[in-house]
Amino acid sequence: MASPVIMPKLGLTMNRGTVSRWGAGEGEPVRKGDLLMVVATDKLTFDVEAPEDGVLLKILVPEGGEAPVGAVIAYIGAEGEVPPDVAASPLPPSHEPVPSPAPAPVAVVPAGDFVRATPLARKIARERGLDLARIEGTGPGGRRLRRDVEAAARAKASPVAARMAADLGLDLASVRADGRVMKQDVIRAATERLPAGDVEVPLTPMRRVIAERMSLSSSTIPSVTYHVDADFTELSAARESLREEAARSGVKISFNHLLMKICAVALTEFPMANSSFGADSITMHGNVNIGLAVSVEGGLLVPNVKSAQDKGLLQIALETEELVRGAREGTLPLDSVQGGTFTLTNLGMFGTSGFTPLINPPEACILGLNAVVDRPVAIGGEVVVRPMTTLSLSADHRILDGAEAALFLARIRELVENPWLLLLK
């Protein structure tokens, strides 16, 4: 009897999911433990394994389609078995590029030999400019299946680049790149293809969610941004003095780690900065969950370190690096991007001297870190050169009035300029 495949619940707040990719096409065999599909939420993607051996008899939700948690989205059974006639009632479709398993190995077939492949595999190979003869098949008798072609495509291009190229009707074989084809390579190739005019880049689900949340932030939160200059002399010295000890634990202490620790201390002293605005009340959170904005291909993720107020600098650094790595590899657990109470965003590596960061709802504040540069400053009646930066704090004026926000930022600056005070905490 055919077994139903249901949309899994991958997080406490998940109520629907998007099928980003099927690991096999209808009528193709699947093996227990193999990748059956990739499911995307609004922020993360998850590989879902096949629960049993068999054939993927019927797909009820196509790639890019959405379905509620618990809905039947496909059937697995024996070859030739007829699945029940059940619809999954998919939600409106979307498209999500996702991280994928390791690419398939390459095999060379002598010229003139017939290449065995499913019609769907041939179609995908044609669309993506791939030579089937150079792809090793994992089907019966070496037959090339959909998963084989897609694995080969992933070896050539990132998931975002592959999806974007398909949406733009661009042959990946024509895209020039130094190594793997990335998003910017596809955009450049699409621009060069047109003699003049605009290029429409389709929205990914991640970009769509970012747009929705940032629009919500700018339209519903009366945000005010406060700027203050800070001397990084002592913080730089502290980082240098901790370098060797931190290296023994396999981590390199960065300004991000130090600022996260400093903010964790300051937030316990200014609980309104660690709160959320509700319809009839303001919720002051018991834990300080500090998020770090991480740029990833196709968008932005903000994983957060939970209960940062109870953790030392080394623990914060270790957890942060693990979260950053997971964000860039697409392996973050869902709860790592939920429950944040404060965000740090660093554009200093791009040379910024000041910007207005948008608050990540429902948080009350976000701190922006700018470039640290040598500047002349007056100290004790003399002009000296110090490593200086500008700290940019955006705060929800419904929660923090100007004076309290300014005091909060001043406390952050005090700890930046006197990091040894952290020893008293």
Q: Which position has the higher pLDDT, 249 or 297?
A: 249
Task: Classify domain 1-97 by CATH architecture.
Answer: Beta Barrel (2.40)
Whether the Cβ atoms of residue 396 and residue 221 lie closer than 8 Å to each other: yes
Q: Is the pLDDT of residue 104 over 60?
A: no
The three-state DSSP-derived secondary structure of 241-259 is HHHHHHHCCCCCCCHHHHH
388 vs 376: CA distance, rounded Å: 9
What's the rounded mean pLDDT across residues 279-307?
A: 94
Q: Is 115 exposed, middle or buried (0-12, 13-18, 19+ CB in 10 A)?
A: middle
232 to 206, 229, 235, 267, 332: CA distances (angstroms) = 35, 10, 5, 20, 32
What pLDDT is attached to residue 90?
A: 47
User: Same CATH fold, 207-424 and 1-97?
Assistant: no
Q: Is residue 6 scored above 80 in pLDDT? A: yes
What six digits make up the tokens of 142?
Answer: 């070496």
**pLDDT band at residue 93, thresholds of 50, 70 and 90?**
very low
Span of 136-145, 290-299, 369-378, 400-409 with lowest mean pLDDT: 136-145
Which of 1, 10, 2 has the alpha carbon at shortest distance from 45?
Answer: 10
Among 18, 103, 37, 109, CA closest to 76 = 37
Q: What is the CA radius of gyration of the chain?
A: 26
For Cα atoms 97, 98, 99, give the angle at the middle one, nearest 5 degrees: 140
Q: How far is CA 339 from CA 181, 238, 286, 304, 364, in A?
A: 34, 30, 12, 8, 13
Please state the domain extents for the chain: 1-97, 207-424
Which one is catalytic: 310, 335, 374, 397? 397
Minimum mean pLDDT range among 4-13, 212-221, 291-300, 362-371: 4-13
The amino acid present at 163, given as its one-letter code, is: R
Tokens representing residue 389 in the block: 């930066």
Out of 11-15, 108-112, 178-182, 388-392, least confident range? 108-112
Q: Using 50, 70 and 90 to split pLDDT, how confident is the model at 282?
A: very high
> Looking up tokens 């130094």, which residue turns up?
178
Query: Cα torsion at 167, 170, 176, 177 (round to 10°)?
Result: 20
Dihedral pair phi/psi, residue 223, rounded to 5°: -90, 140
- Residue 401 annotated in active site: yes
Angle at the Cα of 286 (from 280 to 291), degrees rounded to 5? 95
* 80 dihedral zone (left: phi>0; alpha: psi -120 to 50; beta): left
Mean pLDDT of the chain: 85
Backbone angles phi, psi at 116, to 5 degrees: -80, 125
Span 318-369, pLDDT tens digits? 999 999 999 988 888 888 999 999 999 999 999 999 999 999 999 999 999 9
CA distance readout (Å), 85 to 16, 59, 61, 90: 22, 11, 13, 15
Q: Is the per-residue pLDDT at 373 higher than 60? A: yes
Among 53, 131, 335, 401, the active-site one is: 401
Assign domain 207-424 to its CATH superfamily: Chloramphenicol acetyltransferase-like domain (3.30.559.10)
